[in-house]
Chains A and B, each alone.
Chain A
Amino acid sequence: MSDLAEALRSVLSLEVGLWIVVGDILGIIVGALPGLTATMGLALVLPLSYHLTPTAGMGLMLGVYFGAVTGASIPAILFGIPGNPNAIATVYDGKALADRGEAGVALGTAVVASFLGGLGSILILYVASVPLATAALAFGPAEYFSLAAAALSVIAAASGGSVRKGVLSCLVGVALSTVGIDSLSGVARYSFDNVYLLKGLSVIPALIGLFGIAQVLSDLHLARRAPTAVVLPKMGRLLPPAGWFVKNWRTIVESLGIGTAIGALPGAGASVAVVLAWERARRRSDHPEQFGKGRLEGVLAPEVANNACIGGGLIPTLALGIPGEAAAVVLLAALLLHGVVPGPMMFGQHRELVYAIFAAMFLANLTTALFQIGGVRLFARALALPPFALNLVILLLSLVGAFAIDGSVYDAAVALAFGALGWWMKREGYPVIPLVLGLELGPILEAQFRRAVVIAGGNYGTFLMRPLSAALLLMGVAGLVSGVLPKRRAPAPAGRPAAP
């Protein structure tokens, strides 16, 4: 605990605190704008974080992450439009409450619930990641290969739509990751004697392209529309009595558990967690028939769950170096930019940074709650931004951000190419997230596979002979099979968006 206290002191410095606050504000604006996701916000500030100290850079990124996830409740409650998929279940009861003139209490509940979900998941991350990282020190190359393969299989199958397209997207990511010099034998692959390609395709311009530029290209035809006229509904009081949260402690704990567990699983995502948490709260309630018609617990449960996914998602990212979803890939890329390799070794080599990340998460969670409560009317005005200007600014920041990493037009061109690819994938129903994870995990997958075979003296059966490796591979196969099986959808109230 003394490490954490020390880290908290370092995070409370003016520089780090300032960047966390900047991140919060940017994040809440991103969250409040329908269509803009937390991952896109993270991808846009990623190049900026490179020019800060590691702690300040991570503070900025975490501020954006917490802000975007929490801020998505603003349009969900006020206008019935989820800012991003994390807030899909908040619409169910939040909009009904706003229609009844209780928007204030719904927003206040969402903010407190988000804070509690974030806080709980940070504590779980703190408690779980150190033992997990310690256990992972015993992993050999076979286990690492199987873990990466399992994560990719599950994500490819669970990313929505056709499993074939998910797997294809993942394979494209792995294929692109093989461009450049092979790290084990020094052989050049797919570089066509081009000096830029010899270095390989950098993940960061790819992330900026796939999440920033692709979004602009998809939304550009909407940019012709006039700005939305923002008419705020009646707010009423801002918070329910404190005793109400105490009375609903079971819903909070269950939603926290659902959010953290699903966040830690590769591919499941917050949109699944929020619907499950909402459904669980409905079943537990004495008045399930009132859910979807303006029940405050219907806002509490999903908002606890979506912020809980943040801490959950960082457990495998920090402890194992294996990100389970797109936002975690961007955070992992931010650490790599600073020369920090996430995984079990990080807990020994960069112990102070690990604890600074925990402390920055705590601070970002707290300040996001304070800013959102204080500035809800102001952030709701973000919807009035002219769509054409917003899209052009995102396009510009994406191109300049990619350029700024290395001062290279080549990186900006790579971002543009990935933007075009991501746009086209979206148009043809291909999920983008498996591609990103394939690109990130591809080098780990290949290097660990070959190392494991070398260590086993050329025996390819080593992956099945080691129990943990075999179990992980089995998990990957099960993930793929479950993706093919028909899905049972969680019910949604009439007229509301269904579970993804």
Chain B
Amino acid sequence: MVRPRWLTLALLVAGTAYTAAAWRIPVRPIAHDPGARVVPLVVGILTAGLALWELRARQVPNGAGQSPAEAADGTLDGWLCLAASAVYLAVLRPLGFVAATAALLFGLGAYLRSPAGWRQWLGLAAFALFTAWAVERLFGGVFGVPLPSGGWGAP
């Protein structure tokens, strides 16, 4: 299976944009100092150049042994997990740590395990609630880290 090259393409674009932005970095006159834009310029040009070289290079199969279906499955799971985590961070303060965490664990757990029957659903809910409570106790109780308590006031 040949690896995708979206990241290399993204690096080419990002390297070019980074270089262009480097030109706009103001330089304050300090005697003999090459200035704050030299390293970004060199790094940006090298990044864009190497990314272009990599894009033009011959593709070698990676031999990872993953079928296209498995790879697609992994991609979907990864994106869903990222989206769920982003939503989790957005609702962490308003909902509070325990409620937001239990919801994240329950939601992702249900997606990954597809529970069948009320026993499995109950087990998943217990796992979500217990883990959220245990992590809150570990950080809040043992290490004294104030985790968001949400609209309910309690942790």
Contact = CB atoms under 8 A, between A and B. Distances in A.
Q: Do A and B bind each other?
A: yes
Interface of A: 48, 51, 162, 164-165, 167-168, 171-172, 174-175, 178, 182, 184-187, 189-190, 213, 216-218, 220-221, 223-224, 388-389, 391-393, 395-397, 399-400, 403-404, 407, 409, 412-413, 416, 419-420, 423-425, 427-430, 445-446, 449-450, 453-454, 456-458
B122 interface: no
A416 B82 CA distance: 7
A196 to B, nearest CB: 14
Binding site of A, secondary structure by majority: helix, strand, loop or mixed? helix
B133 interface: no
Contact of A399 (B28, B89, B113): B89
Contacts of A184: 30, 33, 36
Given A189-B40, A217-B82, 20 more contacts: A167-B46, A168-B8, A175-B18, A185-B33, A189-B25, A218-B78, A220-B74, A220-B78, A220-B112, A221-B78, A395-B108, A399-B89, A403-B147, A412-B89, A423-B78, A424-B7, A427-B4, A429-B3, A456-B32, A458-B32
B135 to A, nearest CB: 6
Given A178-B43, A427-B3, A450 B26 contact: no
B51 interface: yes
A172 B109 CA distance: 34
A400 B139 contact: yes
Interface residues of B, number: 65
Q: Which of A175, A190, A396, A423 has the most CB of B within 10 A?
A: A175
B16 interface: no
Q: Which of A164, A220, A397, A450 has the most CB of B within 10 A?
A: A220
Contact of B135 (A164, A223, A396, A445): A396
Contacts of B33: 184-185, 450, 453-454
B145 A221 contact: no
Contacts of B104: 396
B65 to A, nearest CB: 13
Given A221-B70, A388-B109, A171 B3 contact: no
Contacts of B7: 424-425, 427-428, 430
